């Protein structure tokens, strides 16, 4: 009897979601639902359909590699992600002085290397360099050749994560990442996809070091320039994607959608520079914000040049804190501050359904294991967050702990009897 009730409850939840998230499905006969649920509980019908755009299991995309375990964007981080079973690995791309594409989230080498401890490069420090309009101090990749960058040690950017590899690993080129993906796909007998991002493309173009042509050349050299190739190309700047499409890049393209932060009082997102709009829009005087991309009009525009969207998670599942009698956020866990860990998830938006209706897939970012990155509703369990997004029909997740994402996906597929 307990087994019957358990199966019945799972099926009931799944059919409820089918009713809610299928566009245009406004009614479903109660008698038919009851019959299907009873048949499911008795094991007489097959697996439930997945809610992804293509009906396949959602992808696990290793964000900057398995960056929860190794310094991000290193060969070791990518290898660990592959060893853990990730479907896709994701390198951000910037340019060196001699025009080589390397994997890094930051043009500022002070963010993720030990460049400050190299006296031979002391004179190259900038005190007030602009990156997408933001003033930064540090050493910048456009002042260094690839050979010089290879002398730097990579460091972990999150001080709460393992530090034992700091300074021991090296930055890698796009070609090295491609070579790894190809070799490991052959060795393991499974396809590992690549998900490069053109990072700060307007910034690089203004430096005379544009990213697009070199990325296209690398993809063509790998014989990957087709819509069926194991490649996704992403950018926050629409003009970068449009340029590559115009120049003949045929792989799947993804428009990233960001925001500055959470307003936990209202449950809304905040929009402050440089995370308020794509930088190419900023340069062109376009006053729209990232939030305009998730409207029906915005999604329809994206569909003209991209195949999918990559939104920040709260565009799909908003979060909101609790207010006290003085209209102040409550510090529910008594850790001295009111933050995400004190906030609860809200009713999901229609973004996934809206995107799917237009034929756009949805890959959400970024999933992390640490409790400080989890809303209170998830009770400190990162798998509960993944499960919610999988049940909503997300097509892929950017994860810094791909093993956790894969475990959660297995739980989700078990719910659907796969």
- The answer to whether residue 146 is domain-embedded is no
- Residue 65, C-beta contacts closer than 8 angstroms, at least 6 positions apart: 72, 73, 74, 76, 77, 78, 79, 80, 81, 89, 90, 91
Q: CA 249 from chain center: how many Å?
A: 21
Cis status of the peptide bond prior to 274, with omega within 30 of 0: yes
- The answer to whether residue 148 is domain-embedded is no
Per-10-residue mean pLDDT, the chain, length 418: 39 41 38 45 68 97 98 98 98 98 98 98 97 97 98 96 96 98 98 98 98 98 98 98 98 98 97 97 98 98 98 98 96 96 98 98 98 98 98 98 98 91
| Partners of 270 in the β-ladder | 261
SS3 at position 372:
helix
Alpha-carbon gap, residue 342 to 43, rounded angstroms: 41
pLDDT at 3: 37
The conformational region for residue 384 under phi > 0 = left, psi -120 to 50 = alpha, else beta, is alpha
- The answer to whether residue 263 is domain-embedded is yes
98 and 23 in a common domain = no
Q: CA 270 from chain center: how many Å?
A: 19
- The answer to whether residue 160 is domain-embedded is no
14 and 101 in a common domain = no
Read off the tokens for 19: 């009713």
- The answer to whether residue 156 is domain-embedded is no
Read off the tokens for 409: 């996906």
Which residues constitute the domain of residue 304? 59-108+171-415
347 and 199 in a common domain = yes
- The answer to whether residue 141 is domain-embedded is no
Alpha-carbon gap, residue 409 to 234, rounded angstroms: 23
pTM over 0.85: yes
SS3 at position 240:
helix
List the one residue out of 119, 121, 111 whose CA is nearest residue 155: 111
382 and 348 in a common domain = yes
341 and 245 in a common domain = yes
81 and 21 in a common domain = no
- The answer to whether residue 78 is domain-embedded is yes
Task: Decide: 321 and 338 in contact? Cβ < 8 Å.
Answer: yes
36 and 104 in a common domain = no
64 and 37 in a common domain = no
pLDDT at 366: 98
181 and 100 in a common domain = yes
pLDDT at 170: 98
* Tally of domains within the chain: 2
277 and 375 in a common domain = yes
404 and 364 in a common domain = yes
9 and 74 in a common domain = no
């Amino acid at each position: 009897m307990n087994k019957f009730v358990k199966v019945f409850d799972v099926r009931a939840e799944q059919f409820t979601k089918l009713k809610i998230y299928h566009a245009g499905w406004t009614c479903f006969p109660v008698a038919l639902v009851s019959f299907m649920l009873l048949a499911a509980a008795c094991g007489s019908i097959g697996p439930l359909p997945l809610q992804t755009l293509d009906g396949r299991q959602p992808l696990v995309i290793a964000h900057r590699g398995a960056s929860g375990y190794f310094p991000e964007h290193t060969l070791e981080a990518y290898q660990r992600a592959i060893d853990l079973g990730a479907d896709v690995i994701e390198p951000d791309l910037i340019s060196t002085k001699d025009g080589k594409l390397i994997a890094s989230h930051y043009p500022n080498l002070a963010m993720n290397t030990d460049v400050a401890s190299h006296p031979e490069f002391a004179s190259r420090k900038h005190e007030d360099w602009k990156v997408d309009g933001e003033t930064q101090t540090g050493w910048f990749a456009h002042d260094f050749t690839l050979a010089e960058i290879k002398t730097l040690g990579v460091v972990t950017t999150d001080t709460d994560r393992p530090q034992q590899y700091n300074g021991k690993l090296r930055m890698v080129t796009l070609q090295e990442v491609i070579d790894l993906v190809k070799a490991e796909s052959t060795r393991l007998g499974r396809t590992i996809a690549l998900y490069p991002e053109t990072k700060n493309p307007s910034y690089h173009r203004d430096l005379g070091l544009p990213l697009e042509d070199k990325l296209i050349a690398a993809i063509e050299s790998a014989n990957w320039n087709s819509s069926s190739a194991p490649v996704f190309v992403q950018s926050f700047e629409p003009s970068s994607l449009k340029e590559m499409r115009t120049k003949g890049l045929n792989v799947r393209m993804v428009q990233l959608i960001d925001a500055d932060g959470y307003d936990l009082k209202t449950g809304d997102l905040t929009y402050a520079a440089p995370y308020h709009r794509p930088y190419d829009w900023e340069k062109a005087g376009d006053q729209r914000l990232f939030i305009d991309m998730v409207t029906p009009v915005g999604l329809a525009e994206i569909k003209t040049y991209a195949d999918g969207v990559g939104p920040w998670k709260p565009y799909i599942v908003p979060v909101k804190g609790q207010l006290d009698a003085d209209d102040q956020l409550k510090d529910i866990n008594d850790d001295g501050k009111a933050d995400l860990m004190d906030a609860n998830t809200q009713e999901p938006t229609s973004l996934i359904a809206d995107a799917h209706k237009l034929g756009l897939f949805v890959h959400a970012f970024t999933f992390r294991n640490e409790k400080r990155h989890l809303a209170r509703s998830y009770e400190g369990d990162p798998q509960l967050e993944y499960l919610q997004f999988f049940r909503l029909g997300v097509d892929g997740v950017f994860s810094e702990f791909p093993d956790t994402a894969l475990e959660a996906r297995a739980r989700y597929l078990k719910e659907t009897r796969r």
